[in-house]
Structure 1
Amino acid sequence: MVVLAAFAAIYLIAGALPAVAVFVLQLCYVLPALQRFRGPWLLVAQAVAGYVAVLAAGASVGILGFLGGSLLLFRSWWPLLVLPVVGSAMVFGPVDPVISMVLVSLVVYGLIRLTERAEEAEAARVGGVVAAVAEERLLISAELGDGLGRGLAQIGAGARAALARPDRAGEVLAEVTRSARTCLASARAAAAAYRALSLTPELTTARALLTAAGIEAEVRTGHAEPLGPAGALLAHVLREAVTGVVRRGATRCRIETRAAHGRVWLRVVSDSARSADDESLGDVPARVVEAGGTLTTGLTPEGRYFTEAVLPGAVAVAKEEEAAADGGRAYRLSIALLAAVLVGFCVKALLMLDGAQLLPASAGFAVIVYLQLSSVHGRHPYKLGVMALLATLPVFVFGQAWLGAAGFLAGPLLLALPWRMAWPLVGVLVGWVAGMGVELGLAAGLVVNHAVSAVVTGLVMFGLLRQAQIVGDLRRERDRQARAAVVAERLRAARDLHDLLGHSLAAILLKCELARRLPAERARAELADVLAMTERGEADLRAASGGEQVRMRLAAEAESARSVLLAAGIEAKLRLGHVGLPSVAETALSAGVREAVTNVLRHSSAAVCEISTESVSGGTVLRVRNDGVSGPSGRPGSAGIGNLTTRLAALGGTLVAGAADGWYQLEAWLPAVPAAGEVA
């Protein structure tokens, strides 16, 4: 609106009072409250006001550009723009005013259309994120359905066949067991692949591990997700580094990430002053080097131990963002309009020169146009300096024709500098234009016209450049949010695959192996359990694919866990004292039961496992203890512990896991959660 007002002001200063009416009518395309007046009658009113200004008030034909810009906004009417252009050329003769009219038309159309495009892009941002998540869910569903869905179907069919044909039960059970083992491996591999896209869950796990060990943890993230293979390798580095921090008995640890120039950094610093122990990192240094990165360990000048890994990882994201910005229709429109207006202003200036001056002047303007277009992608101080020289010094060679070039400098000044600095500089520039006009012996009216035109041209350049940046920024932001949502969706799928389907498949595998060793009658009971677990596994698969929300009952999960533990020969003790939990809390704590029991089966030599819940002041506590600790620290850094930490943290809960006195205990606490909460 400011640019439109500046255009109208030029004609008003020249004495054309109808320019006020022209400007007011144009506001119907800019202000939302007046847009209901758009239509044929508004165009007629604009035409009347414009031609009155030209024929009665002596305004330049350029004022008809307001009408021309409005015509361009209507797809079916824009050919009518040819009539005022051709008519003006035939009636008024000089080419310069006609070019001015075309330029004003393009500026008016461009600013209004780009504003609409920016609003459309803003409105479409949420829709773009939703669409990206929906598309990702379809992809995940297809990926998981082809392998895991078919595998679960085979397990269910095999269990039913074994129940129907006891004489072939042994052969069928062997096949079912193989299918269950394959499905379990596929589920774990898929969960690891989805999780590897992001370093964020590993940062969450690292913080939980450090806090559980009594170490003050600080995490600063400065990278953008997803990182892809680099994220998986950095997650490995982080696990090894944090394990070393815990082992060396540090009291403070800081984890930092950042990304720049196509590379991503991970740095872990602790207050442990012991010498570097490269062997503790295993094969990690070699893998980092193989991936094109570097891994450094040592002591900081303050005597703190650090591990720093640098890997290629941000190039693809940066290129994707640039391609997304350059690929939008609105962005292409903004650049095309900017280029057209720049060329039009240059042609107007060149018409004032003779043949000998055309070539060097054209070369100078070509450089200015290039510098203007490159200003869309950021601030370039050295380019701004070159433009300052090109916009001012050639006036001593080309005279009045080059005075308009000062406006080309005003736009980038307003764009690159804070306004408290830019406007005084623009004021100096306008004063320079006026002074040069006097020095060249121009009439007072022309001096004022050139000075005002410098401001208007600067505002036009600023408006078009800023609109191009806004459209590009909105598109990049929408794509960034869509990528972040896709990463979050894949991480959710990884959690559900690991915590839900992984447990179900592990239980199915255990039951199948047990059934193969039991007499026929007892095996039938285990096969019935396999069928029930297969149905639950299919529901877990649908949840992991995003097809339905996960809902679990804590009491039922605890009973199922006891059944699985007993089948594995582990004494299971249940003591459930929770009351009145909403579904969201039961689901999160049920995932805790599954994770704890799965770790007991996979990583311990337990003879006894105790599962208990109790309601405490302000929340509920779940404890799972076993006497089969295989090492001094258990497995506090596993992917499942990280998943569970994330689920609980989303509801304001905490997780503590560790070994003491020969027992390993997982303790999850959740505050009172509103019944309307959502599953993490």
Structure 2
Amino acid sequence: MHKRAKLIVAVVFAGFASVYVVAGSPLALAVFGVQVAFTRRRSWWLVALQVALAYGSVLLFGSSVGILGFVGGSLLLTPLWPLALAVAVSAALLGPADPVISMVLISLVVYGLTRMIDRIDEVNAARLALAMTAAAEERLRIAAELNAGLGRALSVIADGARTGTPDVDTARSSLADARAAAASYRAMSLAPELSTAKAMLTTAGVTVDVRVGHAAPLGPAGALLAAVLREAVMEIVRRRTATTCRIETLTEGAAVRLRVSHDGARTAGDENLGDLPEQVEAAGGTLTVELADDAWVTVEATLPAVRPPVQPSHDSTLSMALLAAVLVGFSAKLLLAADSPWPAALLAVIVFMQLRSIEGRHPVALSIMAVLTFAPIPLYGQAWLGVAGFLAGPVLLAFPWAVALPLVALTVATVTVSGVLLAMPIPLTVNYAISTLVTGLVMYGLLKLAQLTRELRESKDGLARAAVVEERLRAARDLHDLLGHTLAAILLKCELARRLDAERARKELDDVLTMTERAMQDLRTVSGEQRELSLAAETEWARSLLAAAGIEVVLDLDHGALGKDVDTTLGIVVREAVTNVLRHSSARRCTITTSAEDGIVRLSVRNDGVRSAAPRHGSSGIGNLTTRLAALDGRLAVAAEDGWFELTAEIPTRVWVPA
């Protein structure tokens, strides 16, 4: 985008310089070269060289004083900007009014286009810094939220454990708060739920095609659409009749749409979506279920999307002001050449339409401008030929280059033919043809650079929002996978201690104290402080926790040395797997095995007591694990058969991760 902007500016400057080259000033090429160099490096010696070249062109070669506009524009960009007025005065002393107006216009255009280039550089340089700052601020905010709630609750639980009083209520509410916070953080994006849906459907043998056409964050709409997606996918898995599923998201105006289609339905209206239709309707959206003739069923939800407010653009204001000045200046030049005041009314209409249809994408407005450009030529003759440049700029903006360039060429050719028919001198006709092109390029450059700056700012803001979303998703994963597991273990131990005699309860409460310390470490990890885990330590902890729940545990670890990122990730997998065993089964036996072969480590957690072939809960955890493993070139698989459930993770033993 930066190179494209500089190219646009160079083309506009070259257009201005060409007018003076054609008029017989070889120094105009040197002035152009210095101007391009000045846009890259602001040096006083370049201004001095430009002064010498521009005034030399006027005094030695008799060039129009309009070429002094390059000097005026450069001075406006320096602390010596008041000297630009002195250049304008000198132009007025050396030449007539028409070229003096050209000099002022060129000064304004040089200043405006160069300032826009500067703005593009500034915005581009700030993109990464803004994203990092946004992520850091979000991390601090998350830390403050969690420390104020969960941090205080953990202190209360620890105090109760020290005094021999298991605080079950606080432990239960802390776990609920952690899960609610994780759900809230995940609500900003559909990405985790899409990953989970794909993993679940793939495991169920369904071919999945996911097409993402929305931009995060989605706000409250994200949470509701995630719930719709989750229920729709669970219905597909429950039925076991689908072979293909297509999941699409797209943005339409101020709304975001989710569409889940599959070939596993036989009758319409039997999708079990609970009270989701009422929730979607209450949120101002719609939720429909349709059955096509080919037995494909489509669940479609549409909700209003929450978008950040549009900030007023300083760059658009600058471009509008410069465009208005250019239009008024060129109009003044035309009126000076006219013998009648009547063209002023038509020019006012053209200027008004130019400013109203700023992007030139209105066919009706372009058609009217085309008529006003060429129809008055028989009435006003040579004076009206300069109006054609007003049409060339919007044409360049309105159409693709393949269409715009021939249309601009046709406009320039029409001016040339009109000059011949009006018996104008050949040099003057050529001058008008070139001026038409230059005027069009000036307007195109002003507006296009404003568009590029706006697009870059939007991408910068989008990058910052993406960084915030990613930080919240990271916090949600860690809340669920790390802190959620530890809080679930604390709740289990507190409930167990409340049912035991004092001596045995004391041992469980000692474990609670250890767990609260661990939970505080997890809380710091969620808040952005990286912490390494150990697969070996996590499996030992899993054996202790499962044994406390009355589950027989078999460990068979044979994975050898692992990279720290792999070790940490597999430790998190064990945590999630054990949490699922405790929450979603009535297991009596659990086997945890690891093996390594050909540089791939394989972890398997298998348990009995599965309550259903496809557990309806826990999808957040599976989605989190899928995301974590994919980041290290690993994969996750789950399977349920004959009352047994198995979670398997495979990952390279050592993975290079950028620092």
| Structure-1 residue corresponding to 2:374 | 392
d(CA) in 2 for partners of 1:394 and 1:148?
77
Instruction: Report the alpha carbon displacement of residue 66 of structure 1 after superposing the two structures with TM.
Output: 0.6
d(CA) in 2 for partners of 1:610 and 1:52?
90
> Aligned match of 2:107 in 86, 91, 105?
105
Instruction: Report the alpha carbon displacement of residue 238 of structure 1 after superposing the two structures with TM.
Output: 1.1
1:576 and 1:279, CA in 2 relative to 1: closer, same or farther beyond 3 A?
Answer: same
Aligned pairs for 1:520-535 within 5 A: 520-535=502-517
| Structure-2 residue corresponding to 1:154 | 156
1:446 and 1:203, CA in 2 relative to 1: closer, same or farther beyond 3 A?
Answer: same
d(CA) in 2 for partners of 1:312 and 1:372?
29
Q: Which moved more, 1:622-631 or 1:333-342?
A: 333-342
Q: Which moved more, 1:363-372 or 1:223-232?
A: 363-372
> Aligned match of 2:52 in 42, 48, 51?
48
1:24 and 1:624, CA in 2 relative to 1: closer, same or farther beyond 3 A?
Answer: closer
| Structure-1 residue corresponding to 2:196 | 205
| Structure-2 residue corresponding to 1:61 | 65
Q: Which moved more, 1:109-118 or 1:208-217?
A: 109-118
| Structure-1 residue corresponding to 2:259 | 267
d(CA) in 1 for partners of 2:658 and 2:417?
68
| Structure-2 residue corresponding to 1:336 | 321
| Structure-2 residue corresponding to 1:166 | none
1:355 and 1:199, CA in 2 relative to 1: closer, same or farther beyond 3 A?
Answer: same
Instruction: Report the alpha carbon displacement of residue 552 of structure 1 after superposing the two structures with TM.
Output: 0.8
Aligned pairs for 1:309-458 within 5 A: 309-313=301-305, 316-317=306-307, 320=309, 323-324=310-311, 326-327=312-313, 329-353=314-338, 356-357=341-342, 360-371=345-356, 373-375=358-360, 379-458=361-440
Q: Which moved more, 1:597-606 or 1:196-205?
A: 597-606
Counterpart of 1:623 in structure 2: which amino acid? Answer: S
| Structure-2 residue corresponding to 1:647 | 628
Equivalent residues of 2:591, 2:607 under 8 A apart: yes
Instruction: Report the alpha carbon displacement of residue 346 of structure 1 after superposing the two structures with TM.
Output: 2.5
d(CA) in 2 for partners of 1:349 and 1:153?
80
| Structure-1 residue corresponding to 2:128 | 126
Aligned partner of residue 366 in structure 1, secondary structure: helix
Instruction: Report the alpha carbon displacement of residue 103 of structure 1 after superposing the two structures with TM.
Output: 0.7
d(CA) in 1 for partners of 2:387 and 2:293?
54
Q: Give TM-score scaled by structure 1 length.
A: 0.90
1:539 and 1:390, CA in 2 relative to 1: closer, same or farther beyond 3 A?
Answer: farther
Aligned partner of residue 669 in structure 1, secondary structure: strand
d(CA) in 2 for partners of 1:117 and 1:350?
35
Q: Which moved more, 1:619-628 or 1:513-522?
A: 513-522
1:283 and 1:372, CA in 2 relative to 1: closer, same or farther beyond 3 A?
Answer: closer
Aligned pairs for 1:165-180 within 5 A: 169-170=164-165, 173=166, 176-180=167-171
d(CA) in 1 for partners of 2:70 and 2:620?
63
Counterpart of 2:632 in structure 1: which amino acid? Answer: L
1:677 and 1:15, CA in 2 relative to 1: closer, same or farther beyond 3 A?
Answer: closer
d(CA) in 2 for partners of 1:519 and 1:466?
78
Equivalent residues of 2:68, 2:91 under 8 A apart: no
| Structure-2 residue corresponding to 1:192 | 183
Counterpart of 2:50 in structure 1: which amino acid? Answer: Q
Aligned pairs for 1:275-674 within 5 A: 275-278=267-270, 280-313=272-305, 316-317=306-307, 320=309, 323-324=310-311, 326-327=312-313, 329-353=314-338, 356-357=341-342, 360-371=345-356, 373-375=358-360, 379-546=361-528, 548-635=529-616, 638-674=619-655
> Aligned match of 1:27 in 30, 36, 48?
36
1:137 and 1:390, CA in 2 relative to 1: closer, same or farther beyond 3 A?
Answer: farther
Gaps of at least 5 residues in structure 1 are 163-168
1:21 and 1:632, CA in 2 relative to 1: closer, same or farther beyond 3 A?
Answer: closer
> Aligned match of 1:18 in 21, 27, 42?
27
Equivalent residues of 2:271, 2:289 under 8 A apart: no
Equivalent residues of 2:213, 2:249 under 8 A apart: yes
Instruction: Report the alpha carbon displacement of residue 101 of structure 1 after superposing the two structures with TM.
Output: 0.8
Backbone CA RMSD of aligned residues: 2.3
Equivalent residues of 1:269, 1:304 under 8 A apart: yes
1:359 and 1:14, CA in 2 relative to 1: closer, same or farther beyond 3 A?
Answer: closer
1:81 and 1:596, CA in 2 relative to 1: closer, same or farther beyond 3 A?
Answer: same
1:382 and 1:227, CA in 2 relative to 1: closer, same or farther beyond 3 A?
Answer: farther
d(CA) in 1 for partners of 2:340 and 2:277?
68
Instruction: Report the alpha carbon displacement of residue 537 of structure 1 after superposing the two structures with TM.
Output: 1.0
Deviations for 1:600-654, whole angstroms, at most 9, x for unmatched residues? Answer: 2222222222222222444122222222212232246621111112111222222
Instruction: Report the alpha carbon displacement of residue 191 of structure 1 after superposing the two structures with TM.
Output: 0.2
d(CA) in 1 for partners of 2:571 and 2:43?
62
Instruction: Report the alpha carbon displacement of residue 124 of structure 1 after superposing the two structures with TM.
Output: 2.1
Aligned partner of residue 622 in structure 1, secondary structure: strand
Instruction: Report the alpha carbon displacement of residue 462 of structure 1 after superposing the two structures with TM.
Output: 2.0
| Structure-2 residue corresponding to 1:5 | 14
| Structure-2 residue corresponding to 1:234 | 225
Deviations for 1:525-569, whole angstroms, at most 9, x for unmatched residues? Answer: 3222222211211111111111x1131101111111222222222
Equivalent residues of 2:12, 2:442 under 8 A apart: yes
Count matched residues: 649
d(CA) in 2 for partners of 1:393 and 1:143?
68
Equivalent residues of 1:217, 1:252 under 8 A apart: yes
d(CA) in 1 for partners of 2:21 and 2:556?
87
Aligned partner of residue 15 in structure 1, secondary structure: coil
Aligned partner of residue 266 in structure 1, secondary structure: strand
Aligned partner of residue 158 in structure 2, secondary structure: helix
1:278 and 1:635, CA in 2 relative to 1: closer, same or farther beyond 3 A?
Answer: closer
Instruction: Report the alpha carbon displacement of residue 224 of structure 1 after superposing the two structures with TM.
Output: 1.1
Deviations for 1:247-270, whole angstroms, at most 9, x for unmatched residues? Answer: 331111111111111122211121
Aligned partner of residue 280 in structure 1, secondary structure: coil
1:109 and 1:678, CA in 2 relative to 1: closer, same or farther beyond 3 A?
Answer: closer
Aligned partner of residue 56 in structure 1, secondary structure: helix
d(CA) in 1 for partners of 2:352 and 2:293?
49
Instruction: Report the alpha carbon displacement of residue 447 of structure 1 after superposing the two structures with TM.
Output: 1.6
Q: Which moved more, 1:58-67 or 1:660-669?
A: 660-669
Instruction: Report the alpha carbon displacement of residue 477 of structure 1 after superposing the two structures with TM.
Output: 1.2
Counterpart of 1:216 in structure 2: which amino acid? Answer: T
Counterpart of 2:327 in structure 1: which amino acid? Answer: L
Instruction: Report the alpha carbon displacement of residue 69 of structure 1 after superposing the two structures with TM.
Output: 0.8
Deviations for 1:340-376, whole angstroms, at most 9, x for unmatched residues? Answer: 323322332234446741552243233333245234x
Q: Give TM-score scaled by structure 2 length.
A: 0.93
Equivalent residues of 1:629, 1:662 under 8 A apart: yes
Kindly indicate whether residue 233 of structure 2 is the aligned counterpart of residue 252 of structure 1. no
Instruction: Report the alpha carbon displacement of residue 17 of structure 1 after superposing the two structures with TM.
Output: 3.1
Instruction: Report the alpha carbon displacement of residue 380 of structure 1 after superposing the two structures with TM.
Output: 3.8
d(CA) in 1 for partners of 2:501 and 2:419?
108
Instruction: Report the alpha carbon displacement of residue 429 of structure 1 after superposing the two structures with TM.
Output: 0.8
Counterpart of 1:425 in structure 2: which amino acid? Answer: L
d(CA) in 2 for partners of 1:10 and 1:386?
29
